[in-house]
Amino acid sequence: MQAISIEGGVTAAQGFLASGMYCGIRKNKSKPDLALIYSKVPCAAAAVYTQNLVKGAPIQVTRRNLADSIAQAVICNSGNANTCNADGEQKAQMMCEAAAKALHLEPEDVVVASTGVIGQVLPIEPILEATPKLAESLTEDGSADAAKAIMTTDTVVKEAAAEVTINGKTVRMGGIAKGSGMIHPNMATMLCFLTTDANIAPAVLDSALRIAVKDSFNMVSIDGDTSTNDMTAILANGLAENDPIEEGTEAFDLFTETLRAIAIRLARMVAKDGEGATKLLVCKVTGAASDADARTVAKSVICSSLLKAAMFGADANWGRVLCAIGYSGAPVDIHRVDVGFASRAGSIEVCVNGAGIPFDEEVAKKVLSEDEIDILVTLHDGNASASAFGCDLTYDYVKINGDYRT
Amino acid sequence: MQAISIEGGVTAAQGFLASGMYCGIRKNKSKPDLALIYSKVPCAAAAVYTQNLVKGAPIQVTRRNLADSIAQAVICNSGNANTCNADGEQKAQMMCEAAAKALHLEPEDVVVASTGVIGQVLPIEPILEATPKLAESLTEDGSADAAKAIMTTDTVVKEAAAEVTINGKTVRMGGIAKGSGMIHPNMATMLCFLTTDANIAPAVLDSALRIAVKDSFNMVSIDGDTSTNDMTAILANGLAENDPIEEGTEAFDLFTETLRAIAIRLARMVAKDGEGATKLLVCKVTGAASDADARTVAKSVICSSLLKAAMFGADANWGRVLCAIGYSGAPVDIHRVDVGFASRAGSIEVCVNGAGIPFDEEVAKKVLSEDEIDILVTLHDGNASASAFGCDLTYDYVKINGDYRT
């Protein structure tokens, strides 16, 4: 039985509610900055975090709160990362306490996250004041409101959800994400909150999450900068009443594949909405000797500033693709590499066996003028493949980041 | 005895001549595209090359020609990298033959290099036709002409030279370089040609070159892209008639230190003239546990797109410095890190023990509005230090690279 995509995001699964509002952290009052996600019953929970040695205070607190693998709510603000501040953990703890009080939970059952400027003291009063109102406004339709409230320089709401039959029961899962800049997750991810009504033990949920993240968020790069606050958390409340999903079973594969598909959809949205981006770039590597080689090559290509700028200009400068493969660190035989470009407008081969071939520049321009571009790399070295997700480098990236704090 | 800086570049040492001209590879006839460097007598020679698996054809040919560690001339074109072309090595060989014929040398005594677009067939006729004229126009004042002819998107000529007394004799050395984009040398460098009249055996020259490159070109990054055609070559013709310089002697240290200083001056010029750059960024790391840690941290900071954009906007967004230290891979205790900024306009401390401190934003703006910025990182973890050289990320970088080929 295949999974099917459904409408909605973090409230698509049974028993989950969400809300978002403006509380006063941002100067711009039209941009909501506080989100709440809540499950009617306690959930098995798992999370992965940034591998940056600088870790945001909310990550330290969430890690402690998830030590028992149980959670029932998520509170998240945008506009301030609450990182590199002396009182960071205290403030993150206060956010958990505020959410717990409003929802009649224990603070240890709350996941807390923050995103925004690093190194500015988090104003806690607006959050404490707004949280009771946020709790009152929780609804089953609140996913988009929560998704909006966690956005920073994101320009579009990122939600995805799917439904699948597991062990005879309908299981739903979905999530929201934010990305935009400082996006180059390493064994973790930008902010993403996933929910499911599946009945699944925490350890099994954790395995499924790690598999899903590996091919999705960990293959995204906007600018090569691994953030201090990356986090993906998943809550599973069991309301689907399926028999527990065990590792090594068909049910686990089905659950994980569905979760992975949702994570990839969200990862694509994050990449396409990178700071200043006008295009989603997907580097699809095939014919690699190993999974690791395929991933290394795909990520190296997607991270090349030169290639990203060329893609902005719809310039089929494939030499930059080859160059990025050459310095990736993967042991590739460069004389066997083929490169092509593809999009809705068609496809074109530009390099065979590591050397240029004549191609129609006008066709190439047309292919590269779409807003979703596949960069096709064939290594002729084995059977492994991988895809990485990135975006073009534009004037607006420079503009946004030239004066982000003001 | 200290070395002193002198005027000139690749012809500052005795017996070296150079020239540059427009031969017809570029569309823009006002931009010279072919350079020649010549020594009146055969030279000990050494070179380091890109570590990219994709290596330009000229690098393959030069490597063969330097197998005997002897050379007497350098020919270099800009406008075309002669890389990823089926006939690349044949064309590079033809360039050596043309230079050899015009200068009455063996082709094996010529260093050949190319820089420009990857994957377009090199038009050889203009080079063959121009080389005799180029040889006729060789002069002792030709350094700047040669430096101009190897430029691509560079905006300023890059020359440096120095004089030092070694074993009782005056020894001169100098060089020219080009950089601009696809600059992130790895164990090698962008194009740089160095000359000296020192009497020094090839193996000793090679050691000195590697030491000089380590702290200069290998610490530069414009955009994180390691080029396919990076090369630094040095020719030593012995006309200073000093006693041979041996490794492990004071003379070797003096020679190497002088060469290193020239290389660092050229590296700073390359970084400051990065594609679209308005500012030189130097990340100075002190208090590291090891040399490797210091280098890793300095390079990570200088490579952060987010920090580079912030520097363009003169925004003291030190959180991005800390973030880049955190993901550098060096095992740093982030709670002991101090960060400051300095320039001709003054200096300002912004982060102590990994946390922000109050600072005057106006002073910071003033410090960061200069065209040479030091980013000061103290790790309080040991006595090692390193500096890395980069530039800001600007609208013009995107503009230049959005449509480089046309």
Check residue B346 and give left, alpha or beta (phi > 0: left; psi -120 to 50: alpha). Answer: left
* Residues B398, A356: C-beta atoms closer than 8 Å: no
Are B325 and B334 contacting, i.e. CB atoms less than 8 angstroms apart?
yes
What is the arithmetic mean of pLDDT over A171-183? 83
Distance between CA atoms of residues A381 and B160, nearest Å: 45
A–B interface: beta-carbon pairs under 8 A: 204
Distance between CA atoms of residues A157 and A10, nearest Å: 12
Question: Is residue A250 part of an annotated ligand binding site?
Answer: no
Distance between CA atoms of residues A4 and A6, nearest Å: 6
Distance between CA atoms of residues B48 and B405, nearest Å: 27
Distance between CA atoms of residues B335 and A7, nearest Å: 44
* Residues A117, B320: C-beta atoms closer than 8 Å: no
* Residues A406, B323: C-beta atoms closer than 8 Å: no
The CATH T-level fold of domain A280-402 is Ubiquitin-like (UB roll) (3.10.20)
Which one-letter DSSP state was computed for residue B123? -
Mean pLDDT, chain B, rounded, equals 90
Give the pLDDT of residue A188.
44
Distance between CA atoms of residues B377 and B286, nearest Å: 6
Are A82 and A122 contacting, i.e. CB atoms less than 8 angstroms apart?
yes
Give the pLDDT of residue B347.
95
Asked which of A111-120, B43-52, B80-89, B220-229 is least confident by mean pLDDT, the reply is: B220-229
Each domain of chain B, given as residue ranges in start order, spans 4-272, 280-402
Which entry of A189, A196, A256, A378 is annotated as an active-site residue? A189
A187 in reach of chain B (CB within 8 A): no
Whole-Å CA distances, B127 to A363, B103, B139, B182, B405: 32, 15, 19, 25, 20
**Residue type for position A256:** T
Are B166 and B242 contacting, i.e. CB atoms less than 8 angstroms apart?
yes
User: In Å, how far from its chain's centre is CA A56?
Assistant: 17
Whole-Å CA distances, B324 to A225, B332, B342, B377: 7, 11, 19, 11
Give the pLDDT of residue B155.
83
Instruction: Check if B4-272 and B280-402 are the same fold.
Output: no
pLDDT in tens, B255-288: 999 999 998 988 888 888 888 889 999 999 999 9
Are A152 and A180 contacting, i.e. CB atoms less than 8 angstroms apart?
yes
B70 in reach of chain A (CB within 8 A): no
A304: nearest Cα among A241, A368, A390: A390
Q: From the candidates B87, B118, B321, which should be mutated to test the interface with A, based on the most A CB atoms within 10 A? A: B118
B51 in reach of chain A (CB within 8 A): yes
Chain B positions touching A82 (Cβ under 8 A) are none
Backbone angles phi, psi at B168, to 5 degrees: 80, 0
Give the pLDDT of residue B182.
66
- Provide the residue count of chain A: 406
**What are the tokens at A315?**
């310039």
Residue A161 reports pLDDT greater than 80: yes
pLDDT in tens, B136-183: 999 999 999 999 999 888 888 989 999 999 988 999 999 998 887 666
Residue A245 reports pLDDT greater than 90: yes
What is the arithmetic mean of pLDDT over A42-71? 90
B residues 84-113 closer than 8 Å to A (CB): 84-86
What is the arithmetic mean of pLDDT over B78-99? 94
Instruction: Kindly calculate the radius of gyration of chain B based on its CA atoms and give it in whole angstroms.
Output: 21
Return all residues near B405 (Cβ < 8 A) that are at least 6 apart. Answer: A315, A317, B117, B120
pLDDT in tens, A252-307: 999 999 999 998 988 888 888 888 889 999 999 999 999 999 999 999 999 998 89
Residue A251 reports pLDDT greater than 50: yes
Whole-Å CA distances, B89 to A21, A320, B55, B60, B106: 64, 20, 11, 7, 17
Which entry of B50, B115, B189, B196 is annotated as an active-site residue? B189
Whole-Å CA distances, A201 to A14, A73, A247, B151: 17, 18, 10, 62
> Which candidate from B84, B118, B326 shows the least CB-CB separation from A52?
B326
Classified as helix, coil or strand, A218 is helix
Residue B186: band (very low, low, confident or very high) from pLDDT cuts 50, 70, 90: low
pLDDT in tens, B266-275: 888 888 888 8
- The hierarchical CATH code for the domain B4-272 is 3.60.70.12
Is-catalytic flag, A228?
Answer: no
